[in-house]
Structure 1
Amino acid sequence: MFDLEDFFNLSTDLFCIIGQDGCYQQVNPAWEQVLGWKPENLIGHPWLELMHPEDIANSWLLTKPQQKLQWDNRFLHKDGSYRWLSWSLSTSQKGLTYGIGRDISQQLRQIQALSTERESLYNLLNQLPAFLYLQPKNYRVGFYNERFREVFGDPTGKPCYEAMAGLKQPCSVCPTYRVFDTNAPQLWEWVDSKTGNVYQIYDYPFTDMNGEPMVVEMGLDITAVKKAELALRQREQELTEKNQQLQTTLEELQKAQAQLIQSEKMSSLGQLVAGVAHEINNPVNFIDGNIIHAKQYIQQLLELLQLYQQEYPYPTPIIAETIEAIELEYITEDLQKLLHSMKMGSDRIRNIVLSLRNFSRLDEAVMKAVDIHSGIESTLMLLQNRLKAKPDHPTIKVIKEYGQLPLVECYVGQLNQVLMNIMTNAIDALESLCVIGQHDRPQITICTYLLNSDWVVLEITDNGPGISKEVQQRLFDPFFTTKPVGKGIGLGMSISYQIITEKHQGHLRCISSPGEGAKFIIEIPILQLKSPRPL
């Protein structure tokens, strides 16, 4: 069995006995392990000798305690550095002091590191262009950033409904409490009655370190976006009025051609003009139908002209001079080509408008059975400009490996949003390698197949830089992004994950390694309410 002397000598804590003169009478071997001082070098030396000068004023020898004392100070290591020690001291009736010390230097460094990390996080949140705050169930405002204070003022001591809305009781319909009730994110808009600014609000469920439910709310000022939408609607009206003017004469067909070119440019805006695709479709159909009639009328006029030339082969000098001046033969040949080109342009615009409507499907808010491949093709058409060769990178090749799939029940617009998010990220990753000259054959492979009779699989694979394990673990977390500031806010993949897993009862996962590209796998049931996916 160990006796007290064994315990004194084997302990990793620093033990010492200090006499009434303030000098060491006995120390254990741990002093050499922790501070580098051999016990024999300390016996008879003053307690204050190794103490940091700034800590001497509050030292035990000056306060003369008559009972146990807990105290932290710095002691000199033999190498010249100082270590923080936590002391437990007590004085006996004989005037001897017994001390037990423990090295807490590492714990203090960890605390300092955590404090620095916390401060960095707060600084980052304060630099966000959106206001952000935490709300517990008691309606109080938890943490908030500087942007929140700029929009709502100081919320100290006020519940959220008073600080943000000036009310004396909770709102009758509280989006935040919908998050508590459903444990699902909420996306909505709010208009500041004081400034007229429009904010897009995102509420997300959150659990603090104590397990208490909270809500993270972030509001981004989208006033500029709303103004852009209004400008697009006004532009739509202008386009409609111009198209109506094309119904009168053949000469105005050239104006129609210019309008078609402008419409094609507008369609290249992709998602931004999805809302006007329906309105553009009507005048395009009118033009397309009238080109057929115009072609017939011109053909009849040309036949009449040929008949005149046959019946009157010798025109008057004035007519002959005019025929030569306007190059009648060239006009006759080129007019057919011109009408054919206009017809091709009209067909092209109709296809783009159809792709926009198939992609957005804004009028289809319910789940319905659709062709998955149609959504993929619409998304690829909207991304054609991103896939084309640029001065700093070659064409991004798209390989399609479509399987034989049945119609799949889904929310079409939301599923197309997921496809757009994943393909856009793949293009961004490939461009980043091409720009620095580390890739000359970028490609994206899209593969679809049946997992079994109840499930379909869609795989999107790129040969880009790949994704590390650390990033994959947070890939679907809200607000997590690896893009530079201003390029993304970290919600695209989080929302995509929610659409697949919650809206469609499916699965979304990523398989990747650094330098090996990335593969995103989407699995959804063909029919909802079917049995779960087999493991």
Structure 2
Amino acid sequence: MRYRVSSKTKGISTAQVGNLQKIANIPTSVQVFLNQLFELQEANNLFDSYAASIILSLTNWDKDTFYALLLQSLSSHLNLVTIESALLIQKNNNGISNFVLTFLDKEQQPVFIQVSTRNIYTQTHNSYKVIATLSACPKESQNSNDYYKLKNIIDHIPGYVVLIDQNHNIVFANKAFSNYFGSIKNGKCYEIMKQNKNTCTPCNPFEAFKTGTVSVTDWSPKDRPCAFRVYSYPFDDLNNNKLLLQVGLDITSDVKTQVALNQSEERYRTVSDNLSLGLAVMGKNQLIGLSNLRLQEWFGSNASRGKAFFNLFHDEKLHNPNSPDSPVRLTFETAENHECETSLIINNEQKFFRLSFLPIKTPKGNVRAVIAMLDDITERKKVEYRLAQVKRLEGLSILAAGIAHEINQPLSAVHLYSAGLKVLLEQKKDLSPDKIQERLDLILKEASKIKAIISNMRALALQEKIPDLELASLEHSFHEVKKLLSQQLNQQNIKLINHIDAENSFVLANKVQLEQVFLNIIKNSIDAFSKLNAPKDVNRIILVRSYCLAEPKQIILQFIDNGPGLKGDEDKIFNPFFSSSVTPQNMGLGLSIVHTFVESWGAEIIAQDLTQSPLINESNLPEFQEKRGSLFQITWTIKDNQE
């Protein structure tokens, strides 16, 4: 910073110096030093003063710019720090100090000037004043300026620096110490730093005097929110006086961070210990670093810190940390989550656990630890076992009901053929062997159907091996079912129309099951017509048609009627025991069995109400112009190896 006092300061008296300082707005410490420098000067002219003569003789400055250059030099950073440090020493040393100032001469070369201050009594002011005197600095003494440089560095350390003798007297302290604890004048370390009247017992830093080694302690003053890490170094000065150098680094932020971490850990403990899950954190050696109370409840001391996680289990993949299937090892290697299930005997009770392993990653993506979460699924397993038993019983009940449902029709036929044969025999009519053979063949045929139905239903319900599929004829199934249902169709005046594509009539299915599908879907339509209030002379139509698609290669089989429709039951129509009108003759199993058979062939079946069906092309179906009724569609997708 440059000060513009006046281009000409010749003739300025020493009494006018104070006014010039105020005009220049120079730092307070420089003002104090200038007052000390010119305090006793009696010269009428500034340049006649002893101080000015010393400075001018050493720097060769021009008198016209002397005062401006003097202010500029004293306000330089190096000299300013030196003056401030000297003033601090004067306060604690009865005004006495010695220091060196650095100026630049006319040739811009450094010039060192020794400054000595002392406290003297002046009669003029009738009081003591600190007076500064100047002298040329001997070359060997110029290095004393390094003291102030060092002090400047020490004053900027992020903590306090203090020298203490064996009697607990503070010999030296940096600026930070004064900021933290106040003035050090005539003070003991325990009085200034801890506000104690007596020495501290024990005093950890002073143990360094006994051991002769560095002591490190953490300390927090009771009356202020800060913390220090104190390094105490014992040493002997040049006069063999034993001193203790203490450097107290401010670790307040570190302590606050540690407190926050401790609070976070406490919250983690509170949360984790109240979880129903068992938790463990482990490193690559699979030794437990942390575990919660739940895990320790299950495994006791085996789940404590430092124990091997893999020793908690008996499964090879969990017990052997080097197993290629070890989920912990895989989590470390792949940095991905892994899961597994296992069972153990704990307190004479079998328990089931689901284990989840989650990686903890470094910022670079490396896995540094793994969290293991153990979920006790014992009760869930018990429920699943009971549900499996219930499902098995449900399957058996459906099997029994399904068999009863499906064999009802062929049993009726057997009964009909047997009764007819009995009537003929009772009438003692002459029956040729061929006639009897014909009737017996019909009975045996229906009996074979019953046997096949029972076998197929049992295989489907109990998930046994399903009979091999074969090419079955849609045409043949249609005509067989039409013969069986002809009486019911005639009674309700229902037309059963055949639009099956004869050239693409064969599909991959089970022949007996295919007939049962035709039978149950057509009977469903007949039952639906029976609920209509319309007279029987109104057209009642059940259309069975099939066609082939080229892309994708599919055979489509449709059953369409103009009955009352499904009325929103499309999603439930294939459920077991579902029926809009359950009766002893209608148990609600027919369409459920149809769905089971079709899926076992690898085909698909859907049901739609004609009012919302996009599958009906009205131009090809003039019989269904009213768009009322239901549609069942079975789709076989033909694979290349099936052609």
Tell me the TM-score range normalised by the shorter chain: 0.3 to 0.5
Determine which structure has more spread, i.e. the larger CA radius of gyration: 2
Larger RCO, structure (CA 8 Å, separation 6 or more): 1
TM-score with structure 1 setting the length: 0.43
More strand by share: 2
TM-score with structure 2 setting the length: 0.37
